[in-house]
Amino acid sequence: MSLLSVDVSQNGGIKNVDSSSSVFEMEEFDFSRLPDRPRNLNMERQRSFDERSLAEIPMGLSPHPPSRADNFNRVLDHLDGIYSPGRKSGFNTPRSHFGYEPHPMTAEAWETLRRSLVYFRGRPVGTIAALDNSEEKLNYDQVFVRDFVPSALAFLMNGEPEIVKNFLLKTLRLQSWEKKIDRFQLGEGVMPASFKVLHDPVRNTETLIADFGESAIGRVAPVDSGFWWIILLRAYTKSTGDLSLAEMPECQKGMRLILSLCLSEGFDTFPTLLCADGCCMIDRRMGVYGYPIEIQALFFMALRCALVLLKQDTQGKEFIERIIKRLHALSYHMRSYFWLDLKQLNDIYRYKTEEYSHTAVNKFNVMPDSLPEWVFDFMPMHGGYFIGNVGPSKMDFRWFCLGNCIAILSSLATPEQATAIMDLIESRWEELVGDMPLKVCYPAIENHEWRIVTGCDPKNTRWSYHNGGSWPVLLWLLTAACIKTGRPQIARRAIELAEARLSKDGWPEYYDGKLGRYIGKQARRYQTWSISGYLVAKMMLEDPSHLGMVAHEEDKQLKPVLKRSSSWTV
């Protein structure tokens, strides 16, 4: 019944898929219709990269019957294999590979994205955080590592990998700088939060300045930057088939330095990574210190990326062994203790406290009284999510978007958990999406709790900015998660909402209010990642094979923990 018309060109690239076919119909796609085709060099290299990833994480037999998402993923894997690297449109706006009429907003978005390019000695090396001259610049005139990720993906998807390569190499050079805050030296592997090009008109020279946290508000080093760097290196490698960048000794060393920071032995009793508040996208005090989900999910994903990017030389092998051990422990810990669904919530509600010894059920001594009231209403019958933070006597029950989407993409979430996360997003659409996708976290903290947790931060008042604000950039992560779980219609709904307002409002950084109806109090306009996030979401929906750049298949070796409730079964 396939309505899908796939035309495989000489180099194996997909030319056109009938736009009338839904992505679901891809499940029916007949693989035998793909002709044996001559492959170009890039294609061969990409294949060997994929095979390497499988060889290094041997896959056992699946304990689960294939789900709707599994079938969909098989199609994606296939599409992934025939993805043609390095497609270049030659125009300022990309052509539509799948015969869709591009939305008028995409042309504007590409134009603005290109205007945000930052050049260093004649080469593009990144994109500026925001092109808004009406507000005080602060550091929005810098290239942020995390902000550049959706821009990079947009360029990769459009067959323009050069800027991504330049960015990866430039930030690698910055990593080797000596980093000091007052008299204290930061770890060698720390990657910058952001950097900027300084022009000296007199001497006619250009130099880079970077911020590793020493200038940032709150003076926190960005733990996420290094992880995003590794994730982007894999996306570049997968998209171009060019292994030579990742194999450069400098890149291998850069990766090892990042990994050394987070795989070092210490006093930890958990495999999760202990962090200061504000060390990630939420870069202000917001009660996300300890073991925040965003960092744990990015940590997991970066480890999986590093596993396939590291060379099997003496130093590489040592790291590979450490990574495999950590991945096992981390996935077990996250899937067991961060996961919350109706059954688990009920268990916590009935927890006994003060249990001693290894037989304890309530291992972290969480007080049932600390369960917030909202969580009982928020939890749907079917659905679940990874909660915000777990530590000694601490569970932060807030829902965070980025961590949950990355958990799906990296397969930190089991297929059942991934389905449950999407179920929850559907059931709690009003709360999490409302009028503008997507809440950075839910719910907002207010009153006394806001005073204590944020230190009375006027930027993070309830339902604003990091405190329950809505961030259009998160659209690309939602879309990727939707495609991975075989539910693209959810992404379409969200994109339609964004299309109703984003361009008219001047691409704000974030929206405020319970429903995300108001342009954020201090939101910048022409915020680059709001623009590139939209483009990436559109391009991914149009050509789901792009998902391969940012998604990982389930690793059957990382055994799921026992099922907890019916919402886990599809």
Contacting residues toward ligand GLC, per CB under 6 A: 129, 144, 146-147, 281, 283
What gap in Å lies between CA 172 and CA 189, rounded to an integer?
Answer: 10
DSSP lists the bridge partners of residue 170 as none
487-503 burial, b if ≥16 CB within 10 A, otherwise e?
A: bbebbeebbebbbebbb
What gap in Å lies between CA 120 and CA 130, rounded to an integer?
Answer: 18
CB of 394 to ligand GLC, least distance (A): 23
Nearer to ligand GLC, 255 or 282 (CB): 282
Q: Which residue has the tokens 């990833």?
A: 53
CB of 133 to ligand GLC, least distance (A): 15
CB of 477 to ligand GLC, least distance (A): 13
Nearer to ligand GLC, 509 or 554 (CB): 509
DSSP lists the bridge partners of residue 208 as 197
DSSP string across 26-80:
GGG--GGGSPP----HHHHHHHHHHHHHHHHS-----SS---HHHHHHHHHHHHH
CB 507 within 8 A of CB 530: yes
Residue type, 511: Y
CB 45 within 8 A of CB 243: yes
Q: Which residue has the tokens 């990079």?
A: 152
CB of 283 to ligand GLC, least distance (A): 5
3-state DSSP assignment of residue 395: strand
CB of 327 to ligand GLC, least distance (A): 26
User: What DSSP designation does 117 have?
Assistant: E
Cβ atoms < 10 Å from Cβ of 554: 20
Residue type, 288: V
Nearest residue to 47 via CA among 241, 298, 293, 246: 241
3-state DSSP assignment of residue 42: helix
CB of 295 to ligand GLC, least distance (A): 13
Nearer to ligand GLC, 469 or 513 (CB): 469
Nearest residue to 79 via CA among 6, 22, 155: 6
Nearer to ligand GLC, 96 or 151 (CB): 151
Nearest residue to 156 via CA among 76, 214, 226, 83: 83
Nearer to ligand GLC, 281 or 483 (CB): 281
Nearer to ligand GLC, 337 or 507 (CB): 507
And the tokens for 547? 């998902």
CB of 143 to ligand GLC, least distance (A): 10
Nearer to ligand GLC, 129 or 310 (CB): 129
Nearer to ligand GLC, 77 or 505 (CB): 505
CB of 336 to ligand GLC, least distance (A): 29
CB 508 within 8 A of CB 519: yes
Nearer to ligand GLC, 259 or 280 (CB): 280
Length of the chain: 570
Nearer to ligand GLC, 77 or 214 (CB): 214
CB of 281 to ligand GLC, least distance (A): 4
What gap in Å lies between CA 125 and CA 233, rounded to an integer?
Answer: 14
CB of 191 to ligand GLC, least distance (A): 13
Cis peptide bond N-terminal to 438, omega within 30:
yes
Given CA atoms 254, 554, 549, 47 in this order, what sign does their dihedral have?
A: positive
CB of 346 to ligand GLC, least distance (A): 35
Nearer to ligand GLC, 242 or 283 (CB): 283
Cβ atoms < 10 Å from Cβ of 185: 10
Cis peptide bond N-terminal to 66, omega within 30:
no
